[in-house]
Amino acid sequence: MLIFAAIVAIFVYGMISAMLGTILPTLSDRFKLTPTQNGTIAFVQALGLIIASVGVGPLLDTEGKKAGLILGLAFISIALLALPKSPGFRTILLLLFLLGVGGGIVVTGANALVSDVSEAHRGTALNLVNLFFGLGGLTTPFISANLFKKNWVRLCYTVATLTVITLVIQTVTKMPAPNGAAGFVLADAGPVLGRPLLFLLGLLLFLYVSCEVGVWNWLPRHLIAQGIPESRALNILSLGFALGLLVGRVGVSPILIHVPALTVILAASAAMAVTTFLMLQTNKPALAAGLVFLAGVSMAPVFPTTLAIVGDAFPRMTGTAIGFVITCGWLGLAVSSRIIGGIAGGDPRRLKKALLLIPASAVLMVGLNLAIASSLH
């Protein structure tokens, strides 16, 4: 039941991760938003993720995962129910910030829960549970393009309903007592936050999230600027990228039983650099879909496997350590979104140049993997 509770929470998080990229073209047309304003929206959502991840670690360690998951899902529900009634840009910013806060709490709480209940095979368990992130990410753009015909209002209300159902599941699920029941003590956190390994792992997720969420938020707009119809672009995001994440996490789970986690991440980083560069070089829908799928497969193991390394390296104050590393990831989202939006400026056709930040970040990840390997030994 604990794994099920984590799965549905991760599924909801996957759906809201794909939400901005899915509705952004429609929001941009309706409110006449520029790419710079799009970047600001993505930045504000990232800011919510950052603030949530910084604060939720101690909450999870002292009050338990249930409290965090319920709080995060409540924030997501409120944001999605209010978004269709937004009068303009400023309200959108506020609600996407709230959506980011809720998402940050949920992803940290769900992954910390899985890390606690699957200590023997953290890497495999986290990849299997996080494949539902890919399923959620596939679902949002797919139903928007094929069932709701890009009706973003119906999409928001549908995802909000699923979020409320998930909140009820967390409420009725019995979860373990917090592992920091005696209280969060700063002196206990010192040894955790003082280890260079934690900062190296945080930097790895900083670069990785810059890549992954860059695809979620910007790929549809880039494809549309290349002349690909919006419905086709959303299907490439869902049946290409999101499906790639799902397939990749299924495939890597048995591999992690025999291959060291860091070796898997190193190979994935190298593959990311190649596939993300190639996917930006074509305007042919079929070829773009295939390359985006391969990019998703390449990215699939990085996030959950990095969290598995954190769980193994920091058995005490696990929620705090995971929260810190995930926070570093959201910092990557905030920085990359501002840079991508700034380079593109007011011209969506310049997104192709701006999105080269993604393969460049993947190249840096390869070098960082080697530094982490030295630190572990």
Does some domain include residue 48? yes
Does some domain include residue 181? no
Amino acid at 313: A
Does some domain include residue 180? no
Amino acid at 37: Q
Does some domain include residue 179? no
Report d(CA 353, CA 351) in Å as an integer.
5
The pLDDT of residue 185? 47
Domain CATH number, residue 95: 1.20.1250.20
In this prediction the pTM is 0.73
For residue 274, count CB atoms less than 10 angstroms from its CB and return exposed for 0-12, middle for 13-18, buried for 19 or more: middle
Does some domain include residue 300? yes
Ordered alpha helix ranges (H), the chain: 2-17, 19-31, 35-63, 65-82, 89-117, 122-146, 152-172, 186-193, 196-225, 230-235, 243-258, 261-279, 285-299, 302-313, 318-344, 351-354, 357-376
Q: How many domains does the chain have?
A: 1
pLDDT tens, position by position, for the chain (377 residues)?
788 888 999 999 989 888 888 888 888 888 888 878 888 888 898 889 888 877 777 777 677 788 889 999 999 999 999 999 988 889 999 999 999 999 989 988 888 788 766 666 677 777 778 778 878 888 888 888 888 877 888 999 999 999 999 999 999 988 877 655 444 444 455 555 667 888 899 999 999 999 988 888 888 888 988 889 988 988 898 888 988 988 898 888 889 888 988 999 999 999 999 999 999 998 899 999 999 999 999 999 998 899 888 877 776 666 678 878 888 887 887 788 778 878 877 676 788 889 999 999 999 999 999 998 887 76
- Which residue segment(s) compose the domain that 220 sits in? 2-173+188-376
Q: Look at residue 338 and give its three-state secondary structure.
A: helix
The pLDDT of residue 297? 95
Report d(CA 266, CA 366) in Å as an integer.
6
Amino acid at 33: L
The tokens describing 86, both together, are 């937004």
Does some domain include residue 217? yes
Does some domain include residue 256? yes
CB-CB contact of 231 with 150 (8 Å): yes
Report d(CA 181, CA 65) in Å as an integer.
12
Does some domain include residue 128? yes
The pLDDT of residue 186? 47
The pLDDT of residue 102? 94
CB-CB contact of 249 with 264 (8 Å): no
The pLDDT of residue 343? 85
| DSSP label of 84 | G
The pLDDT of residue 213? 82
Query: For the packed helices 243-258 and 122-146, what is the interaxial angle rounded to 10 degrees?
Result: 170
The tokens describing 120, both together, are 């023997």
| DSSP label of 356 | T
The pLDDT of residue 312? 79
The tokens describing 95, both together, are 């609600």
The pLDDT of residue 184? 46
